[in-house]
Amino acid sequence: MPSNPTIYDVSRLSGVSTATVSRAFSNPEHVKEHTRRKVYEAAEALHYSPNAIARAMARQRTDKIAYLICKKDATVLDEFYAGICEGIMQSANHSEFQLLVSTAEDWLHNVSTAQAKQIEGVILGGDAKAELVSELQSRGVAVVLVNNRMSGFDLTCVVSDERGGVRQAVEHLIFRGHRHIAMIAGQFSPYISRERYTAFRDIMKEYGLPADDIRLCELNVESATQAAMALLQQEQRPTAVFATNDMIAAGTIKAARRLGLQIPEDLAVVGFDDSSICPMLEPELTSVHINCRRMGELCVEHLKALLDGKSDFPRVVTLPTELRIRRSV
């Protein structure tokens, strides 16, 4: 049984045309009794709302959208994208949309199922691949990107102010007197990695400070700890570290502790994303806050505008960030 049945599902189960299904609910007097009974029984078996059928037929829309998380080894429980999902779900629940949530990997393995569900619009979170965008657009599906921008496509994008967030973090460290600031960067999507990396270098150069003390790591605490250990054992170690997400910041604090350094007396640390681990660390982590829920809400607003045929809205929407100052600096 389909989780979100459509008029087409009712048509197939009852063995009559979609036009007959529509008439059975909107003008039942024009449909023979035994035919009406088959339609009603099929709708009841599928738990399908007659109002939804009538609305879909009248508007020639299914009002089905999907949110796909495009990240290697992602799950729908990934904290950052779950925050975006919360905003999408809240907006969808207050609209006519029916929402499917999945990872891009699962979606690609079930393309035929996705087509059968009559998806009209898709929100792609993270590192969406060009092949997926092309496949969706070839089927006339409206696409909105969140936390990403792609060249070569005319797409609506909802992003946070990455460069502004880096500026807030780095300038705070500079204003606290730090002059040797290092960056430990994770391997995010090309867009996020590029924005945070170039912003750090540009801001440091703007203040006449060296911007070459940069270490790369995988997106896990172990790799971040190893990168931070190497960084902090230099003869001229930094007095502050800007970590490009909170997990990397946690690895940096772990490495500092192993080396007998005090946070923030010997080393100040700033993270990015303001995730749930920030208040759990000791000391609590200063981090750049991203309003994930609002990003999700805006995705639904813009997807609805696309499906309604509107064009009088910005193609790129950038949300401001906020530095949440705690005791790690």
Domain ranges (residues) in the chain? 7-59, 64-160+293-319, 162-289
CATH number of 64-160+293-319: 3.40.50.2300
Please tell me the predicted confidence (pLDDT) of residue 231: 96
How many angstroms separate the CA atoms of 324 and 122, rounded? 32
Tell me the C-alpha to C-alpha distance, in Å, between residue 48 and each of 19, 30, 156, 274: 16, 21, 32, 41
Helix (H, G, I), strand (E, B) or coil at 142: strand
Please tell me the predicted confidence (pLDDT) of residue 61: 62
How many angstroms separate the CA atoms of 164 and 319, rounded? 10
Rg of the chain over all Cα atoms, to the nearest angstrom: 25
Please tell me the predicted confidence (pLDDT) of residue 113: 55
Please answer whether residues 256 and 47 qualify as being in contact, where contact means their C-beta atoms are separated by less than 8 angstroms: no
Domains 64-160+293-319 and 162-289 share a fold: yes
The tens-digit pLDDT sequence of the chain (329 residues) is 666 777 888 888 999 988 888 777 766 777 888 898 888 888 888 887 665 555 555 445 668 899 999 987 767 678 999 999 999 999 998 887 889 888 888 877 765 554 545 788 999 999 999 988 988 888 888 999 999 999 888 899 999 999 999 999 999 999 999 999 999 999 888 999 999 999 999 999 999 999 999 999 998 999 999 999 999 999 999 999 999 999 999 999 999 999 999 999 999 999 999 999 999 999 999 999 999 999 999 999 999 999 888 878 788 999 999 999 999 99
Q: Output the CA angle 138-144-150, nearest 5 degrees.
A: 80
Please tell me the predicted confidence (pLDDT) of residue 1: 62
Helices (H), 236-326: 246-258, 292-307
Please tell me the predicted confidence (pLDDT) of residue 64: 86
User: How many residues comprise the chain?
Assistant: 329
* E strand or H helix at 288: strand 286-289
| Class in CATH terms, 162-289 | alpha beta
- Helices 18-26 and 50-59 cross at an angle (nearest 10°) of 120
Q: Output the CA angle 76-295-241, nearest 5 degrees.
A: 85
Please answer whether residues 158 and 146 qualify as being in contact, where contact means their C-beta atoms are separated by less than 8 angstroms: yes
Please answer whether residues 293 and 87 qualify as being in contact, where contact means their C-beta atoms are separated by less than 8 angstroms: yes
Query: What distance lies between CA 193 and its chain's CA centroid?
Result: 15
Model's pTM, two decimal places?
Answer: 0.79
Asked if CATH classification 1.10.260.40 holds for the domain at 7-59, the reply, yes or no, is yes
* CB-facing half-sphere around the CA of 233: CA atoms within 13 A: 10
Contact residues for 179 (Cβ-Cβ < 8 A; gap 6+): 209, 239
